[in-house]
Amino acid sequence: MDTGNLIALFDSQTGPIYAVASAADDTVLTGGDDRTIRDWPAAGGDGVVLFAGARE
């Protein structure tokens, strides 16, 4: 965040991501259009589903 450089690109492959939260321990969580919360590795890679959203 200090430099403003791009360090990650999130690709949920299920629609837009509307919320991103980060912590000092490099945890990055996202929430998106699919109503799913994912934990993304700081080093890159696929997000791990923490909470699968309810389907209508």
pTM: 0.67
Backbone phi, psi, residue 4, to 5°:
80, 5
Total domains in the fold of the chain: 1
Q: Is residue 43 part of a domain?
A: yes
Q: What is the pLDDT of residues 1-56, one digit of tens each?
A: 678 777 667 766 677 888 889 877 777 888 888 888 888 877 777 888 888 876 65
Predicted pLDDT of residue 5: 79
Q: Is residue 56 part of a domain?
A: no
Domain span at 46? 17-51
Q: Is residue 47 part of a domain?
A: yes
Q: Is residue 35 part of a domain?
A: yes
Predicted pLDDT of residue 54: 63
